[in-house]
Amino acid sequence: MNIVVLDGFALNPGDLDWTELESLGTVTIYDRTSDDEILSRIRKADIVLTNKTPLTSEILYQCPSLKMISVLATGYDIIDLMACNALGIVVCNVPDYGTKSVSQMTMALLLEVCNQVGYHAQQVKQGQWIHSKDWCFWDIPLIELDQKTMGIIGYGRIGQNTAKLAKAFGMNVLALGHKNFREDVTYVDMKTLCQQSDVIVLHCSLTAETYHLINEQTLSWMKPGSILINNARGDLVDETALANALNTNHIYAAALDVVSKEPMEKNNPLLKAKNCFITPHMSWASLEARQRILNTTIENIRGFLNSKPIHQVKMNQ
Query: Which residues are identified as catalytic?
Result: 233, 262, 281
The DSSP result for the chain, as a single string, is: -EEEESSHHHH-SSSS--HHHHTTSEEEE-S---GGGHHHHHTT-SEEEESS--B-HHHHTT-TT--EEEESSS--TTB-HHHHHHHT-EEE---SSSHHHHHHHHHHHHHHHHH-HHHHHHHHHTTTTTT-SSS---SS-----TT-EEEEE--SHHHHHHHHHHHHTT-EEEEE-SS-S-TTSEEE-HHHHHHH-SEEEE-PPP-TTTTT-BSHHHHHHSPTT-EEEE-S-GGGB-HHHHHHHHHTTSSSEEEES--SSSSPPTT-GGGGSTTEEE--S-TT--HHHHHHHHHHHHHHHHHHHTT---SBPPTT-
